[in-house]
Each structure stands twice: as structure tokens, then as C-alpha cells.
Amino acid sequence: MNSWNMQSLELEAHKPEILSSGEVARLVAFNLPEGERLQDHEVHERAWVIVVDGEVEVQAGEATQSGGPGFVAEFDPGERHEVRAVSDSRFLLFLAPWGGKGHPGTMSLQEKADVRERASERADGDA
């Protein structure tokens, strides 16, 4: 069994810490100072934000909700979302299944090389 005390865990601001990562899920801890944000993004997996300390505001599309310790927000795979710290905040990001369909972590080295090559060709074509 693994366990963590989220109140005393040393987390640097803006440096997410992967607490656990396996075949089925990944758990990442964040320390976000007041006024900072985890910019608008999407992930391949279903995602949950679980607030441990402080208060965050979460936006997905036109919907915005905020909450403190105990607040949980859930996002569908591919759903764009942003997390803003209303106050100094600690939260967990739970991703499952890890890596979701299309996630680079599920690709073979050859598939990654092919993707990089196609991206390079597109970039050269745009130049």
C-alpha cells in the first residue's frame, strides 16, 4: 500500500508531482499559488480534480464552478478545462484509464517517430 499526507507533502509551486502511475490510472499532486492557473487544456483520459487545500475555480466550456477542500470536478476524455487558484491551493488530478486512447504514452517508439516525422513535414510545408 502507498499513502501520502497531502497536508504535509512538500510540493513546489508549478511543479506537478506524480504520486502514482500504473496501467489503469495516474494520480498527480499540484501546488498552485493564488491567482495562478493550470491553463486551458484537454487530456485523453477521464479526469477528476480533487481539492485538498485552498479554493479553486474550474472552467469547462461555459460552465464555471468553484470550491474548497472536498470539492471534486469530473471531466470527460477530451473535454477542455482550466483550473484557477482563488487562494493558495493544493489539488489532486486523477486520470483514468491511464493512458487513454490516443495518449502518447500508449504509443510505441516507432509510432512516436512517425508522428514527429509527419509534424516536421507539415512544419516544413508551412515554411
Q: CA–CA separation, 123 vs 1, rounded Å?
A: 47
**Cα separation, 112 vs 106, whole angstroms:** 10
Q: Are 56 and 85 in contact (CB under 8 A)?
A: yes
For residue 117, which phi and psi values (nearest 5 degrees)? -65, -45
Q: How many C-beta atoms surround the C-beta of residue 79 within 10 A?
A: 13
Q: Please give the pLDDT value at position 16.
A: 92
Specify whether the CB–CB gap between 87 and 124 falls below 8 A: no
Question: Considering the entire predicted model, what is its pTM?
Answer: 0.77
Question: What pLDDT score does 100 carry?
Answer: 59
What does the pLDDT read at residue 90?
Answer: 96
Note the pLDDT of residue 86.
98
- Report how far apart, in Å, the C-alpha atoms of 13 and of each of 18, 38, 67, 112 are: 14, 11, 20, 30
- The predicted structure's pLDDT at residue 1: 95
Q: Residue written as cell 483550473?
A: 83
Q: Which superfamily, per CATH, for 17-100?
A: Jelly Rolls (2.60.120.10)
pLDDT value, residue 22:
84
Per-residue pLDDT tens listing for the chain (127 residues): 999 999 889 999 989 999 998 888 999 999 999 999 998 888 888 999 999 999 999 999 899 999 999 999 999 998 999 999 999 999 999 999 876 566 666 666 787 788 788 888 888 876 5
What pLDDT does residue 107 have?
Answer: 64
**CB under 8 Å to 110, separation ≥6 — which residues?**
none
For the chain, domain boundaries = 17-100
- From CA 116, how far away is CA 27, in angstroms rounded? 27
